[in-house]
Amino acid sequence: MEKYPISIKWSDEDGGYIAIIPGIRGLSTFGESSSEALSELKIAADAYFQSLKNAGKHVPELERITPYSGQLRLRMPKSLHCQLSQAAKNEGVSLNTHIITLLSKRLVEEELSCAILRLENMFRSISSDIVSSARNMGQSLQPQERTANVTQEYHQSERIH
């Protein structure tokens, strides 16, 4: 278990710390302190991995950090290379900087588009709830026979006085 990532978080609902190994469902422990939760997780994880081995099942892969060099080789059509080079020259930046800027802008656009879509869905849901509530309210405000009778009685009593 020493090589597996561990997450320990406070849980208001449980009133204590919950320790898990990300990526392994159903394996979590509780502790009144983070160290207690970690200690319990070590015991539970050892038992879990041992039971997998005893059952002849594979032990989950260790999640590893992937090192990125920040470099890549990119092949593209000559016409696109020409267009990008010209645009970079017009902007007064290197081709590398221009491409990074374009990619960054595109990522931000995608993130904003997803956020807008989530907001639209939220507003649709709220709008649907409002329309539904208004319909229900409209039904409860429908004139009833009793209301009509009370109104007639009032008018008759006004004529008498």
pLDDT tens digits for 42-58? Answer: 999 999 999 999 999 98
pLDDT category at 160 given cuts 50, 70, 90 is: low
Q: Within this chain, do residues 38 and 84 fall inside the same structural domain, yes or no?
A: no
User: Residue 118: inside a domain, yes or no?
Assistant: yes
Average pLDDT over residues 63-87: 90
Q: Taking the complete model, does pTM exceed 0.75, yes or no?
A: no
User: Residue 147: inside a domain, yes or no?
Assistant: no
Q: Facing residues of 20 across strands?
A: 7, 28
Q: What are phi and psi of 25, to 5 degrees?
A: -70, 140
**Cα 44 from Cα 39, distance rounded (Å):** 9
> Residue 147 above 60 pLDDT?
no
**Cα 62 from Cα 53, distance rounded (Å):** 15
Full residue range of the structural domain in which residue 127 is found: 78-136
How many domains is the chain partitioned into structurally?
2
**Cα 97 from Cα 95, distance rounded (Å):** 6
* Residue 132 structure tokens: 């539904």
Q: Within this chain, do residues 40 and 84 fall inside the same structural domain, yes or no?
A: no
